[in-house]
Amino acid sequence: MKLYKGLISGALILLGLTSRAQTVIPDSIPDHTPQHFDACLDSLVNLWYVNGSATDLVLDSLPTHDTSPVGKLPDSVYIQRIADINSPIPYTYNDKVKAYIELYTLKRRDQMQTMLGLSEYYFPMFEEELDAKNIPLELKYLPIIESALNPRAFSRAGASGLWQFMYYTGKQYGLDINSYIDERRDPYKSTVAAADFLNDLYAIYHDWFLVIAAYNCGPGNVNKAIRRSGGQRDFWKIYYHLPRETRGYVPAFIAATYAFTYAREHNLYAAPNQLPVMTDTILINKPLHFEQIASMLGVKVSYLRDLNPQYRRDVVPSQKVSYPLRLAFDHATSFAASEDTIYAHQRAKYFTEGKLVAKPVYSTYTPDKPKNKATVYYTVKSGDAIGLIADWYDVRTSDLRYWNNISRNLIKVGQKLVVYVPKNKVSHYSKINTLSYAEKQRMNGKTVASSSVTKKTKPVKEDPNYLYYTVRKGDNLWSIAKKYNGVSNSDIMQLNNMSNASRISPGQKLKIKPRS
């Protein structure tokens, strides 16, 4: 058994899991704090099926309830209610947990009601798999803080899906990821993988709070925190030795459990959504385009995307391997009755010899224009970054990414970005596109030294006691840290006197001290 644990622990650490669970968040806000969650929930719950793309599914009206906020409650009430949660997980209450409870029950009530509605579709799936592996069913709340139940959530570190798997972790746990399919976004298969991952972590720690922390920041960081605390194996005793982004993770989990368990006590009710109550799965044994299915079943392509978010290009890429297609129960019945006809429908338009004829359509979303806002455009210039552009237009980084379908902050020179601004300030924001970098910075009260514009940066004098890493395009502190043994993003920030993890640029040299 000891050998088994050692193999699991070693494999997980080698996978570089220290960066696996960063949700889609504004760069300027510290990770996993109540302020962080407050800023990112809008982006995470802005789902295509909430915005109304699958209109062929009938929406029931929200039941008439008193939905006014209950307000802040005495600590004694929170303490008693948490104590009454019947679970093998040792739920606790403190000021950190309270801050997240108030976020869910007071500040973000609309998002909570949206997630309560989505949970009616996803939670039975989670519970079935957790129960099969004898894992506490309360771990179904992990995707609340990972992805806000958005199967297309994609983090700046590269984590994807409801359970926010990194690429190599997903592959390790049997998830298929290629140009046509990303099973990290498959609600069922990713849940199976997450349950296996949680089981493996429990075999190491035998403590569910440590498992939850390791799920977020990786076993390497949790093991380091245990060593630094003198061997303590209690989350709250190693709290200050954990990475900053993980400290709020367990309190957020406790608060999510509380908020869902006592939603009605806070006048929170499930908002209606367009996901069907009953679904069935059809195995597809040859390539099939969503448009073929939509045309023959009389549904929208967006409806197929909603139920099958794992398919990246609106194609079920079955050839040697069969892939599942999830449909509402009545549509699955219709498909089974007309399967051959659906395969044959306009086949030459989409496939020849089993391969796509036309350029595939990527399954993306079209963000809605915010109400009472005007549209302006900005053309990306050399040296620009998402954070800078958001700062110039006084918008959130997460909104700018959402409006322009940007992942991992990747933009290119010449790219035209849409920005929504107040109608009474259109002239002010329109001129930003014509200003120089220095003028844009001065507009926000920041100065740019002339030497930084006209001269090359002096080379860094390297200390032989450290390694140095030259930042490449697309890098971030999470991806850099996992290249080195025992190094976390916070270690890099401390060594290089950095206060903002997003402020790195290609060509910059970072001081690194790996653990021997």
**pLDDT reading at 504 higher than 60:** yes
Torsion of CA 293, 296, 297, 300, to 10 degrees: 60
Q: How far is residue 418's CA from residue 187's CA, in Å, rounded to a whole number?
A: 31
**pLDDT reading at 185 higher than 90:** yes
| 215 touches 1 (CB < 8 A) | no
pLDDT at 153: 87
Q: How far is residue 250's CA from residue 222's CA, in Å, rounded to a whole number?
A: 13
DSSP state at residue 315 = E
- Model pLDDT for residues 329-353, shown as the tens digit of each residue: 999 999 999 999 999 999 988 888 7
Catalytic, 146? Answer: yes
- DSSP-derived secondary structure for 4-26: HHHHHHHHHHHTTGGGTT--S--
- Model pLDDT for residues 40-68, shown as the tens digit of each residue: 554 455 443 444 333 333 344 445 667 78
Say which of 129, 146, 183, 245 is annotated catalytic: 146
Q: Which of 39-48, 49-58, 494-503, 504-513 has the highest mean pLDDT?
A: 504-513
pLDDT at 8: 35
| Chain mean pLDDT for the chain | 82
- The third-level CATH classification (topology) of the domain covering 467-512 is Membrane-bound Lytic Murein Transglycosylase D; Chain A (3.10.350)
Percent of all residues in the chain with a pLDDT value above 90, rounded to a whole number: 48
- Segment 187-200 mean pLDDT: 96
What 3 state SS string does 335-383 have? HHHCHHHHHHCCHHHHEECCEECCCCCCCCCCCCCCCCEEEEEEECCCC
CA 87 to chain centre: 27
DSSP state at residue 106 = I
- Model pLDDT for residues 198-249, shown as the tens digit of each residue: 999 999 999 999 999 999 988 999 999 999 999 999 999 999 999 988 899 9
- The third-level CATH classification (topology) of the domain covering 373-454 is Membrane-bound Lytic Murein Transglycosylase D; Chain A (3.10.350)
- Model pLDDT for residues 153-174, shown as the tens digit of each residue: 887 778 899 999 999 999 999 9
Tokens coding 228: 């630094």
Same fold, 373-454 and 467-512: yes
**pLDDT reading at 284 higher than 90:** yes
pTM of the model as a whole: 0.64
List CB contacts of 437: < 8 A, sequence separation 6 or more.
381, 383, 384, 448, 453
Torsion of CA 471, 472, 476, 480, to 10 degrees: -70
pLDDT at 443: 81
Signed CA dihedral, 249, 106, 273, 65: sign only: positive
- Segment 128-140 mean pLDDT: 96
- The third-level CATH classification (topology) of the domain covering 2-266 is Lysozyme (1.10.530)
Give the start-to-end residue ranges of the domains of the chain.
2-266, 279-356, 373-454, 467-512
